[in-house]
Amino acid sequence: MLKKKSLGQHFLRSNGALAKIVEAAKLASADTVVEVGPGEGVLTELLLQQAGKVIAVEKDDRLIPLLQKKFASELASGKFELVHGDILSLPTNYLLPTTYYKIVANLPYYITGQFLRTFLQGTAHPPAQMTLLLQKEVARRIACLPRQAGTRRRQVAPKESVLSISVKAYGTPRYIDTVKAGSFVPPPKVDSAILNIEYISKDFFGDVSESDFFALVRRGFAHPRKVLASNLSATGEFLAACGIPEKARAEDLLLGDWRQLTVRMGPVPSTREAPR
């Protein structure tokens, strides 16, 4: 079957990578899995062997009959549920279980950011865990791994980003493994990676406003080359009181630093005086 470029389809063919995705998902016989983009059902088949139920969401109408035929017995038994639609357009209260569930997804690169916002921040019932196949560099950024720089490819200490902080506010990301472009049909232009996000919850925001937190983070990263004090219009004394060096940049701060800043600064309007 010809793949639709408009859907960013790249079907995984590596048995080793498929096995690592299933292993990373840590499935139990009572688990419900929401699989995004089942494609031709290669990963779906492995998920059905481990989980109690699989809800697969497929946008490509050409693949629906194939999946219906391949998993006819599982559909009849209720172990498999097939939803034809765009995962980002379907109302989550209709699609998702209201109790414990996990997500496994081979994501088109172009929907990664919106997907993460939807299922970490935008739903009242986030998954307990997500196992995702993403663009390698995006996965590395989320997991905040060391990177190589310069002509000698020296190792550079990891730096945080809006993306990594946004994910860590809800769960614990873990880089599982790299998946080479040749493992897919058709092969993408870059390598992918398996990323696991565990212990997902909104507990971090028990006494901190989500909107205030993210407004502050976005403002802090607005001009990455500037020091944080400049971006936040904050005094060195204020940052020192928060345990943050005066010359620190946004990329140097950990999740707990942003939480403390949010608590101390409160709501962040578009312009404000420096904290006293």
Segment 220-264, tens digit of pLDDT: 999 988 999 999 999 889 999 999 999 999 999 999 999 999 999
Q: Which domain holds residue 217?
A: 207-265
Query: What per-residue confidence (pLDDT) applies to 147?
Result: 67
Residue 192 half-sphere exposure toward CB, CA atoms < 13 A: 27
One-letter identity of residue 138: V
For CA atoms 262, 263, 266, 272, the dihedral sign is negative
Whole-angstrom distance, CA of residue 136 vs CA of residue 121: 23
CA–CA distance, 274 with 276 (Å, rounded to integer): 6
CA angle, residues 236, 238, 239, in degrees to nearest 5: 65
Give Cα separations from 116 to 65, 75, 109, 205 (angstroms).
Answer: 29, 28, 12, 17
Report yes or no: 104 and 27 within 8 Å, Cβ to Cβ.
no
CA distances from 164 to 29, 110, 143, 255 (A): 31, 17, 7, 9
Does a structural domain hold residue 276? no
Number of domains in the chain: 2
Low-confidence ranges of the chain (pLDDT < 50): 1-3, 5-8, 270-276
Q: Does residue 272 belong to any structural domain of this protein?
A: no
Q: Provide the 3-class DSSP secondary structure of residue 175.
A: strand
The three-state secondary structure class of 142 is helix
Is residue 148 located within the same domain as residue 253? no
Q: How far apart are the first and last CA of the chain?
A: 63
Q: Is the domain of 229 the same as that of 255?
A: yes
Predicted confidence at residue 122, as pLDDT, reads: 85
pLDDT at 271: 42
Q: What contacts 62, CB < 8 A, 6 or more positions away?
A: 1
* DSSP summary character for residue 121: I
Partners of 147 in the β-ladder: 156
Whole-number Å distance between alpha carbons of 22 and 267? 42
pLDDT at 108: 85
Q: Are residues 118 and 226 in the same domain?
A: no
Q: What pLDDT was estimated at residue 131?
A: 98
Q: Is residue 65 domain-resident?
A: yes
pTM to 2 decimals?
Answer: 0.88
Domain boundary among 164, 180, 204: 204
